[in-house]
Every structure is written in C-alpha cells, then in structure tokens.
Amino acid sequence: MTKRSKNLFAKTALATTLAVGLLLPSASYAATTSQIVVKPNDTMYKIAKSNGVSLDALIKANPQVKNPNVIWPGMSLNLPESSATPSQPSKPDPAPAEDNSFASQVVNLVNKERAKEGLKPLTTDAKLTTVALDKAKDMYNNHYFDHNSPTYGSPFDMMKQYGVRYSYAGENIAKGQRTPQEVMKSWMNSSGHRKNIMSANFTKIGVGYYNGEWVQEFIG
C-alpha cells in the first residue's frame, strides 16, 4: 500500500489486523471511508467542524491539498474515517442466488436504523448498486480488503467511472459476516460505519454482497 493510501484511509492499524484475518477465514472485518465535495464559502475548518473531525486529521487525510487555506468549490476532500471490527464465526456462506436478497435486506436494515433517529430513508440507486457489487467481486477475485481497488482506484474514482455523480459520498466494506443482520451489527457497533449509515447528507445507497464480501456505497 502506498504512503498516500495510508494517509487517505488511516489503514495502518487495519492492515495489521488483516494480516491475521487472512489466516483466520472465520473472522470478519469492516472498514469505512467517505468523501465530500467542497461547496461555495467552505473552508477546511468549517468542513472539519461540520463533519466531527479535527482540522489536523482532515489536513493529513488530504495530502493533495498543498495549501489548506486554498480550496475551491467542486474540489473533492477525503474525510478521515476508518476502523476494523472483528466478529464471531457463524454459519456457512449462502448460495450465490441469495446475493440479491442479502443486498435488499441490508438496505431495509439501514432504513430501519435511520427511521429510529428520524432520518429519511435512503433510496436504492441502480448505478450505485452495480458499483457495490462489482467492488465486492473485485475484492474477492483479487484477494484484497481495502477501499483502494487495484482495478478501479478509490471508491470515488470508481463511482465516477460508473457515471455516479454526488456532492457527498461514502463507502463501508466488510468481510466474513454471514448474514445481513450480522454485518449490520458490525457496522452499527463501529462509529465510523455508523456515521455513514446514519448521515443526513446521504440520500441514495447501493449494496453488494459476493462470497463473504460486503459493500455499501452512499451518495448525496
């Protein structure tokens, strides 16, 4: 992994965990990342404050910004969110025919959690669902667990390749959970993942599941 990737997604601790996880297929993991598009009158300080992160962390997550005092509308910034959550082994993987059902169940569970907090439900987006499924397949087929894909680049690069437009965007990934309920429990018990799921900035979702790989894509 490049130094830039580590800065973008704060994956140093996660990489260590994954080295163990690859030897223990029954374990499960999760990670999250998100991106925001700068709006008129935004500053790094305002963006950090409104998204609950420190200014220093925001600056470190965006090494491409040479002068933090100079940002402009339309610029994409990475929000520094990432975590890993181990969980217990459970039942075997379901048959591939259930993949679509699993994705739909995750969307329903997401909207149930949002309803508890008085948030509007997310709408399933066809392009975003394709992104999520292709990302899940890419992780499985290329034997990696990371927001950065060797095939598509960052989640945000991938969205743009698929014609997905957004002002806010985020991604949650997980590996090894066997049911929609199990993966949602892992995500909801992690502050970074929960923040993406419960964000009022997001209005659309796409979910992909493939051979134990789970992906949530969010945009707003």
Measure the CA–CA gap between 56 and 219, rounded to whole angstroms: 25
What's the confidence (pLDDT) of residue 25? 30
Reported as a single tens digit per residue, the pLDDT across 143-152 is: 999 999 999 9
* Residue 202 near residue 218 (C-beta atoms within 8 A): yes
Reported as a single tens digit per residue, the pLDDT across 65-87 is: 888 888 888 888 887 764 333 33
Measure the CA–CA gap between 214 and 64, rounded to whole angstroms: 29
Mean pLDDT of 123-140: 96
> Side chain identity at 62, as an amino acid letter?
N
Domain boundaries, the chain: 86-219
Residue 61: count of CB within 10 angstroms of its CB: 23
210-215-217 Cα angle (round to 5): 140
Percent of the chain with pLDDT over 70: 76
pLDDT band at 32, cuts 50/70/90? low
Reported as a single tens digit per residue, the pLDDT across 87-122 is: 333 344 443 545 789 999 999 999 999 999 999 999
Q: What is the mean pLDDT of the chain?
A: 78
Burial level of 2, CB count in 10 A (0-12/13-18/19+)? Answer: exposed
* Phi and psi torsions of 174, nearest 5°: -150, 160
Query: What is the third-level CATH fold of 86-219?
Result: Pathogenesis-related Protein p14a (3.40.33)
Mean pLDDT of 17-23: 23
